[in-house]
Amino acid sequence: MKQDIQFVRRDELKTKPDPNSLGFGKYYSDYMFSMDYNVENGWHDPKIVPYEPFMMEPAAMVFHYGQAIFEGLKAYKTGDGTIQLFRPEKNMKRLNDSCDRLCIPQIDEGFLLEAIKQLVIVEKDWIPQGEGTSLYIRPFIFSTEPYLGVRPSHQYKLLVILSPSGAYYGDQLSPVKIYVEEQYVRAVLGGVGHVKTAGNYAASMKAQEIAEENGYAQILWLDAKENKYVEEVGSMNIFFKINGELVTPQLNGSILPGVTRDSVIQLLQYWNVPVRETRVSIEEIFAAHERGELEEVFGAGTAAVISPVGELTWNGHSIVINDKQIGEVSQRLYDAITGIQLGSLEDPFGWTLKI
């Protein structure tokens, strides 16, 4: 499917926000990409249109049965003004994996990437250039057919919106307090935890709310079956540095295969720092701390990049990690990934796509 992308111009452009106080996901650019699906025409009517509210049927299936998926990636402006994306083909592939799991028709990955490139070029003045900022790209698909029977929808909408953003947490790299969740679970084997469905995030909010009420920044999620093995932290993958070796939970069908997770693993291998994907229990983590071997803990995700953990609480017992300071590997990874993304460091992996 190769279709021309129609461009519908808006009358007036918006005022851009102050690049020093962007926060995360609060502002939206002038335009968005839109494409629709129905059984007769497949994915059709691709267009770049003004970002604005649109009409939906109250019976649209997404409101009732939740067929909704999304992706998150970022565009950066380098020192010489080049615009680049970071490993976007991985997001396109994962979007189709999410489509597959929720019975949403597959998209043409190459075409969507081309559409995102065109949208970002149109909106290049929305790419912020301050420290830790980028243009966050949010592609998402949801079911639109008005129907109340339970089955996959016959109609969908795909949108891509853009949000100039700063650090996900207020202070980019300051270590956070984490709480090991034992009552609620994020995902189950055979469920949807390995793909990016809106429902995963809806299901995580109760535990997150309780954690915040108790003074914690995020949840550390354990496996749903034995409540024993570490899965993710907040909406990120997690890494532990134990006695010089980096350990991360192996992908098991309920953990999201993060793009930043994969980039961290590849960077560590490139640096000859030992890294292992394995099943890791929370008991082992606390035992490593007892032995004085737990050196660093950090989350890895698109929004925050690297988020160090300074304190971990499990079963009423709290441990402090690396004196609540940013660890050496956490800092090195953050500098390397953001340096490659911003074009200030060489990209030996071919991760950046210049547009």
* Contacts with ligand COI, residue ranges (CB under 6 A): 72, 235-236, 301-304
The residue number whose beta carbon is nearest to ligand COI equals 301
Going by the DSSP 8-state scheme, the letter that residue 5 receives in this structure is P
Neighbours of 291 (CB within 10 A): 9
Reduced to 3 DSSP states, what percent helix, strand and coil does the chain have, rounded to the nearest 5? Answer: 25, 30, 40
Minimum CB separation of residue 259 from ligand COI in Å reads: 8
Minimum CB separation of residue 333 from ligand COI in Å reads: 15
Alpha helices in 5-129 (DSSP H): 62-65, 88-101, 109-122
Q: What six digits make up the tokens of 193?
A: 């935890």
Give the DSSP letter string of 149-211. Answer: SSS--SEEEEEEEEEEE--SSSSTT--EEEEE-SS--S--TTSSTTS-BHHHHHHHHHHHHHH
C-alpha closest to that of 221 among 274, 270, 172, 185 = 185
- Determine how β-strand 155-165 pairs with β-strand 134-143: antiparallel
Q: Give whichever of 25 and 50 is closer to ligand COI, judged by the CB atom.
A: 25
Q: Give whichever of 153 and 200 is closer to ligand COI, judged by the CB atom.
A: 200
Q: Give whichever of 74 and 289 is closer to ligand COI, judged by the CB atom.
A: 74
Q: Give whichever of 242 and 303 is closer to ligand COI, judged by the CB atom.
A: 303
CB contact at 8 A, 121 and 156: no
Taking the CA atoms of 153, 159, 160 and 164 in sequence, report the sign of the dihedral they define. negative
Neighbours of 355 (CB within 10 A): 17
Minimum CB separation of residue 233 from ligand COI in Å reads: 11
**Angle ∠(213,304,349) on CA atoms, nearest 5:** 155
Burial class (CB in 10 A: 0-12, 13-18, 19+), 69: buried
In the structure, how many helices (H) and strands (E) does the chain have? 7, 18
What is the distance between the alpha carbons of residues 308 and 325, in angstroms, rounded to a whole number?
Answer: 8
Q: What is the residue type of 77?
A: K
Minimum CB separation of residue 116 from ligand COI in Å reads: 17
Q: Give whichever of 104 and 195 is closer to ligand COI, judged by the CB atom.
A: 195
Q: Give whichever of 86 and 126 is closer to ligand COI, judged by the CB atom.
A: 86
Minimum CB separation of residue 305 from ligand COI in Å reads: 8
Q: Give whichever of 72 and 88 is closer to ligand COI, judged by the CB atom.
A: 72
Q: Give whichever of 115 and 304 is closer to ligand COI, judged by the CB atom.
A: 304
